[in-house]
């Protein structure tokens, strides 16, 4: 099985951007406008703190900030295809929040801040939740996802929903990351003929391209950290259960989580705390409850690498010599800032693949059927219905790749089957207790680092992704946290470095990741070049 499977593992001003689905074989036509210089922007690389200062001083209102981002989307996104739908009520919401501010109420650090979220997260408004599939057009949720409710309470402005690898890249092993039947092909803002990775590709491209202040993606295995790394931004996959999965189109409840995707570690920490809360109605969670904080910025420390003992998983390298050189420079940076670096081999890193994939197949069928049956506006009510819809609409839904993963999952039984229960126990143990936990203890480590991604590959609808390498599986399968930070570039293409450790170790990982970010400051705005050739 290909490693890529685990990544599947009105008006903007009031204008709606029409996003085409099947784009055809003419990428040059799609990106010819990229000869213009899209890099300059009033809010280029702006942070939450910067925006709050502008609103507090009266320099700008939330409505004006949102309008600038909407104009930016209108200008760039016909090329990038990172936004699948805009919120027609965004400016009205921003205006209401401005009134609250004028009357002396500021709800917190997200008050008036525009955000984009992945189009597999329910919103009880005028926007649909489709997972990029034409089969779910018209699926308007009757209630907000738990994390969306939290966003609204925090005063964030839902600007729109982002495109994604359709069905979170769990439909075919021959897929193109960032392609969906509804939204077309997301492009990497650093180089437009290259992949944005999946499945939270739209969020990664939009935040990297400065189309919004902050964003949210979801991950089963790699779908936050890979598009973050490959688009040159920060991504956090939280410990399973820190953010509620309630109201998110699922792949597998034993691995799924949403998480922040931002341009800085501090913005990611701010968003992480704003939405962190146990949800009693959430799907089952195999991890015990850990301590959750409402403010994770308190753990950020420029000197956070001092005295840390960090393991470098050498067997997660070797897939690209240029990436290896970047990770060697990461070593040096860690050491220069007071950390002790220990090289080791992650013994179980390649043993979890088969059992984890079986878990995903079983849980996908069970969890997706439950989601569809609980949404009255979703026309299909089962995975079998989706398979039938795709077959009947193959010209639009399957022009490049098919649905063999759907078909494989449909053949599975329920979650009481021995095959599923054995695979669940084996995969969790190998990745967690016998994996990350064992390696941390054996080598007396505070955290493990490894390359998040290789250089972005050229988009290839005929052959699908040609993913190079990464390190997402141990943290994803165990349900443990993983933070990726920009680490350098290969021919101008971003490479991220991942920091991961035991369950509920976000405070420690944020301390380390922030110190690394501040020591290096590798993040730079993309230039939207057409091609490296």
The per-residue pLDDT for range 288-336, each reduced to its tens digit, is: 889 999 999 999 999 999 999 999 999 999 999 999 999 999 999 999 9
- Can you say whether the dihedral through the CA atoms of 94, 110, 226, 41 is positive or negative? positive
- pLDDT tens profile 179-202: 999 999 999 999 999 999 999 999
Rounded Cα distance, 122 and 378, in Å? 12
Query: Which residue do the tokens 């015990």 mark?
Result: 288
* Residue 457 structure tokens: 């590959």
User: Active-site residue 199, yes or no?
Assistant: yes
How high is the pLDDT of residue 13? Answer: 30
How high is the pLDDT of residue 458? Answer: 98
What is the pTM assigned to this prediction?
A: 0.94
Q: 489-519 burial by CB neighbour count: b if 16+ within 10 A, else e?
A: bbeebbbbbbbbbbbbbbebbbbbbbbbbbb
Rounded Cα distance, 409 and 425, in Å? 19
Indicate whether 11 pLDDT > 80.
no
How high is the pLDDT of residue 37? Answer: 82
How high is the pLDDT of residue 285? Answer: 74
Query: Which residue do the tokens 């999946």 mark?
Result: 198
Q: How far is CA 282 from CA 285, 371, 381, in A?
A: 8, 12, 21
**Average pLDDT over every residue of 264-283:** 96
How high is the pLDDT of residue 24? Answer: 37
324: Cα within 13 Å, side-chain hemisphere: 8
Please name the residues in contact with 154: beta carbons below 8 A apart, sequence gap of 6 or more.
107, 108, 109, 110, 111, 274, 275
The answer to whether the CB of 35 falls within 8 A of the CB of 249 is: no
Q: How far is CA 250 from CA 363, 385, 393, 415, in A?
A: 9, 16, 23, 15
Q: How many other β-carbons are positioned within 10 Å of the β-carbon of residue 74?
A: 18
Indicate whether 423 pLDDT > 60.
yes
**126 or 286: which leads in pLDDT:** 126
User: Active-site residue 54, yes or no?
Assistant: no
How high is the pLDDT of residue 33? Answer: 52
Average pLDDT, the chain: 93
199, 228, 244, 356: the catalytic one is 199
**Average pLDDT over every residue of 455-462:** 98
How high is the pLDDT of residue 356? Answer: 96
**Average pLDDT over every residue of 396-411:** 98
Residue 116 pLDDT level (bands cut at 50, 70, 90) = very high
How high is the pLDDT of residue 7? Answer: 33
How high is the pLDDT of residue 283? Answer: 76
Please name the residues in contact with 29: beta carbons below 8 A apart, sequence gap of 6 or more.
none
208, 223, 228, 472: the catalytic one is 223
8, 118, 428, 508: the catalytic one is 118
User: Peptide bond before 505: cis, by omega within 30 degrees of 0?
Assistant: no
* Residue 183 structure tokens: 């939204």
Rounded Cα distance, 48 and 44, in Å? 12
Residue 520 — φ and ψ, nearest 5°?
-115, -45
User: Active-site residue 223, yes or no?
Assistant: yes
Percent of the chain with pLDDT over 70: 93
How high is the pLDDT of residue 163? Answer: 98
How high is the pLDDT of residue 32? Answer: 57
- pLDDT tens profile 12-71: 332 333 333 333 344 454 555 556 788 889 999 999 999 999 999 999 999 999 999 999
Please return the burial class of 318, using the count of CB atoms within 10 Å of its CB with bins 0-12, 13-18 and 19+.
exposed
- pLDDT tens profile 340-376: 999 999 987 778 899 999 999 999 999 999 999 999 9
Query: Which residue do the tokens 């369950």 mark?
Result: 503
**18 or 504: which leads in pLDDT:** 504
Residue 296 — φ and ψ, nearest 5°?
-95, -5
């Amino acid at each position: 099985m290909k490693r890529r499977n685990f990544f599947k593992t009105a008006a903007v001003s009031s204008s709606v951007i029409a996003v085409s689905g099947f784009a055809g074989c003419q990428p040059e036509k799609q990106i010819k406008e990229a000869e213009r210089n899209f890099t300059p922007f009033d809010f280029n690389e702006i942070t939450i703190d910067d925006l709050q200062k502008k609103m507090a001083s009266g320099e700008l209102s939330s409505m004006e900030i949102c309008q600038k981002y909407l104009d930016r989307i209108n200008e760039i996104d016909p090329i990038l295809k990172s936004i699948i739908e805009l919120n027609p009520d965004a400016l009205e919401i921003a205006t209401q929040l401005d009134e609250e501010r004028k009357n002396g109420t500021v709800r917190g650090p997200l008050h008036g801040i525009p955000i984009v979220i992945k189009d597999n997260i329910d919103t009880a408004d005028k926007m649909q939740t489709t997972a990029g599939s034409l089969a779910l057009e018209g699926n308007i949720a009757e209630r907000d996802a738990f994390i969306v409710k939290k966003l609204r309470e925090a005063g964030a402005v839902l600007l729109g929903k982002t495109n994604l690898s359709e069905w979170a890249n769990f439909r075919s092993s021959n897929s193109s990351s960032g392609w969906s039947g509804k939204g077309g092909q997301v492009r990497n803002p650093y180089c437009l003929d290259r992949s944005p990775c999946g499945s939270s590709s739209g969020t990664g491209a939009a935040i990297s391209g400065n189309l919004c202040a902050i964003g949210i993606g979801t991950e089963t295995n790699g779908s936050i950290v890979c598009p973050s790394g490959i688009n040159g931004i920060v991504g956090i996959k939280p410990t399973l259960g820190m953010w509620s999965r309630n109201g998110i189109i699922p792949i597998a409840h034993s691995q799924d989580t949403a998480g922040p995707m931002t341009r800085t570690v501090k913005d990611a920490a701010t968003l992480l705390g704003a939405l962190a809360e146990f949800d009693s109605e959430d799907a089952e969670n195999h991890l015990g409850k850990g301590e959750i904080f409402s403010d994770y910025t308190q753990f950020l420390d420029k000197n956070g690498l001092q005295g840390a003992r960090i393991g470098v998983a050498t067997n997660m390298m070797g897939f690209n010599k240029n990436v290896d050189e970047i990770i060697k420079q990461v070593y040096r940076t860690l050491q220069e800032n007071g950390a002790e670096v220990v090289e080791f081999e992650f013994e179980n890193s390649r043993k979890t693949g088969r059992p984890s994939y079986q878990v995903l197949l079983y849980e996908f069928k069970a969890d997706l059927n439950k989601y569809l049956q609980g949404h009255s506006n979703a026309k299909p009510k089962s995975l079998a219905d989706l398979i039938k819809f795709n077959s009947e609409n193959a010209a639009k839904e399957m022009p490049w790749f098919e649905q063999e993963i759907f078909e494989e999952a449909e053949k599975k039984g329920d979650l009481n089957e021995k095959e599923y229960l054995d695979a669940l126990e084996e995969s969790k143990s190998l990745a967690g207790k016998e994996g990350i936990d064992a390696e941390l203890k054996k080598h007396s480590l505070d955290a493990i680092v490894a390359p998040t991604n290789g250089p972005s590959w050229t988009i290839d609808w005929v052959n699908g992704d040609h993913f190079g390498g990464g390190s997402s599986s141990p943290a994803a399968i165990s349900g443990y946290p993983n933070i990726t930070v920009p680490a350098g570039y290969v021919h101008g293409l971003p490479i991220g470095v991942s920091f991961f450790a035991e369950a509920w170790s976000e405070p420690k990982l944020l301390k380390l990741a922030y110190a690394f970010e501040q020591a290096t400051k590798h993040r730079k705005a993309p230039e939207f070049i057409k091609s490296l050739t």
